[in-house]
A and B are shown apart, each in its own frame.
Chain A
Amino acid sequence: MNEQAPHTPAGFAIAPALPDIIPPLRERRGVRGFVWRHPTLSIGLALLVIMLLIAIFAPWLGTTDPTALAPAKRTREPSAEFWFGSDAYGRDVYSRVLFGARISLLVGFSVAILASLSGLLIGLVSGYVRKLDGVVMRCMDGVMSVPPILLAIALMALTRASVENVIMAITIAEFPRVARLVRGVVLSLREQPFVEAAIASGTSTPRIILAHILPNTVAPLSVQATYICGSAMIIESILSFIGAGTPPIIPSWGNIMADGRTLWQVKPYIIFFPAIFLSVTVLAVNLLGDGLRDALDPRMVKRL
């Protein structure tokens, strides 16, 4: 680097080449690159996939039938036979916890999808059809002014306990928030030059909504959907825990904890194992949501 370049006039020296202080930007590709760029999203996704696999393969991973009663083997401490112990009826907590993943994920995903779709529809209509906006949004305000858990409890008190009713109740409690979000996005998009240009060039209203508005709601909507998924899983467990949710016969995490409630001071493991699974699953979903938010909106990084 320091050798004298030829044909240099006397008195002049060529500056030495700059050393490579900053290594050249090398974009990492493939799975490793993705994990490197989006650590939160990847951790959340990985944990969620593990939980999904547990839910799918619960019958093979479990040691016994989760509803099998064994009165002679009640409230055993965790051991080789009962990995997570057994509950007051001698049921295997480990197998029950594995099957519980099915209910939580089913409720979480169903509510996220149903609430997003219904909220999207109402939000689009409210944001685009100005005449309906006032009435629709006052109704949404009304639903939102009942605290969600209380609303779900009240709705569950009306119907019989079933997984479908739990999903419906939580969806009703959650969808106004989506409607509000979508309406806000639509209102700001309407003012954007590209939408005005579309209107000016005579694009039909349905086409504007489908081609210009809808694609721009996907990013905020998917972030919101993950948070709703996590919130739905927590509400399901709360409903089941207080006896207003999934039928007690179905092993959901809330139900397992409800079964362990009377014994928790002496046999805390009945509550703690489902609690850990539930918390990890909700954490996974929330991390996924945070990761998605950062990935979809780069301006938001380092903010929230």
Chain B
Amino acid sequence: MLGYIVRRVLATIPVMAFVALFVFSLLYIAPGDPAVVIAGDQASIEDIERIRTGLGLDRPFLVRFAEWTMQVARGDLGKSMFTNLPVTELIGQRLEPTLSLMVVTLILAVIVAVPIGVIAAWRAGSWLDRGFMAFAVAGFSVPVFVVGYVLAYVFALELDWLPVQGYTPISRGLWPWFENLILPAVALGFVYIALIARITRATMLEVLSQDYVRTARAKGLGENAILFLHALKNAAVPIVTVIGIGVALLIGGAVVTESVFAIPGLGRLTIDAIVRRDYPVIQGIVLMFSFVYVLVNLAVDLVYTLLDPRIRY
């Protein structure tokens, strides 16, 4: 058990190292010479050269990569080229809205998608099942910002039930915070729900054809107990895997959803950074999100051992 956890944690190190190398190369090959930018218009070639040496920009790639890695390990992601503020500070300021959006979406998606998948598998072939699966195909086909606009148009502009745009910090009360997140979370969760519902249905179909399910029915167990206690528990591993993999959808989708609903989170920071070509900020965001994604999937792998005692590597 402990051995498996240790091995699994160690296995993420090469992946993270590759991500770090990739993200570092991003800045390395980025167009524009920082030394020229810092030196200003009046600088001579010697001045630029001096600044370049001063910043260590003239040293080999691997040396700079090693130093940058040490820097990141200490929690320093460099400074924004535009505002000159530390990237970690910029990310910290924008973290709450994005984190709120992603957590609310994740919880909402799991609560909605798993029962949909279970019911669809239970009544496989029925109109209910076909309806759910048609919805799932649609979920994969409509881009997140389109869902966002449709929801905002119907529920905020036409019906006036929910706020159109914006974000309220959680410190200003739970309901105002949640109210602003409902539409963005549903929009962002659309694809995610489709993904989880589909895999839940597929795995449940397989599990429901097993002998122990027939045995449970034969001994007179109620359908609810069969579905949710026996079958779902045994279908859990693929479902949890997809929930973990789908976090990539949440991260990518959050950038766009925030833009539709004017949420001042990391997505907005990303878009502003792209427009200004603020490479250290882009680098910091990509690095942070990738590490989060790797850690989420590490957590998923560790959850396996709780869900399925047979897994012992």
Contact = CB atoms under 8 A, between A and B. Distances in A.
Interface in B202-223: 202, 205-206
A215 interface: no
Contacts of A150: 251-252, 255, 270, 285-286, 289-290
Contact of A238 (B138, B145, B251, B283): B145
A157 B26 CA distance: 9
Contact of A145 (B149, B270, B293): B293
A230 B286 contact: no
Contact of A157 (B17, B206, B274): B274
Task: Tell which of A138, A153, A282, A303 has the most Cβ of chain B within 10 Å.
Answer: A153
Contacts of A264: 149, 153
A262 to B, nearest CB: 11
A141 B297 CA distance: 12
Nearest to B249: A147
Given A154-B26, A157-B277, A157-B279, A265 B164 contact: yes
Contacts of A71: none
Interface in B253-305: 253, 255-256, 259, 270-271, 273-275, 277, 279, 282-283, 285-286, 289-290, 293-294, 297
B145 A241 contact: yes
A287 B137 contact: yes
Interface string A3-37: 00000000000000000000000000000000000
A149 B253 contact: yes
Interface residues of A, number: 43
Interface size range on B against A: 35 or more
Secondary structure class of chain B's binding surface, majority of residues: helix
Interface string A123-163: 00000000000000011011101111111011011100000
A162 B140 CA distance: 26
Given A157-B277, A157-B282, A265-B157, A147 B15 contact: no
A279 B141 contact: yes
A290 B136 CA distance: 12
Task: Tell which of B14, B140, B205 has the most Cβ of chain A within 10 Å.
Answer: B140
* Nearest 10 Cβ contacts at the A-B interface: A149-B252, A142-B18, A283-B141, A147-B248, A282-B141, A275-B146, A147-B251, A279-B142, A146-B290, A147-B252
Interface of B: 14-19, 21-23, 26, 29-31, 124-125, 137-138, 140-146, 149-150, 153, 157, 164, 198, 201-202, 205-206, 247-249, 251-253, 255-256, 259, 270-271, 273-275, 277, 279, 282-283, 285-286, 289-290, 293-294, 297
23 contacts: A142-B15, A145-B18, A147-B248, A147-B252, A150-B285, A150-B289, A153-B255, A154-B23, A154-B286, A157-B30, A230-B141, A237-B143, A242-B255, A244-B271, A244-B274, A257-B145, A264-B153, A265-B164, A272-B150, A275-B149, A279-B146, A283-B141, A290-B137
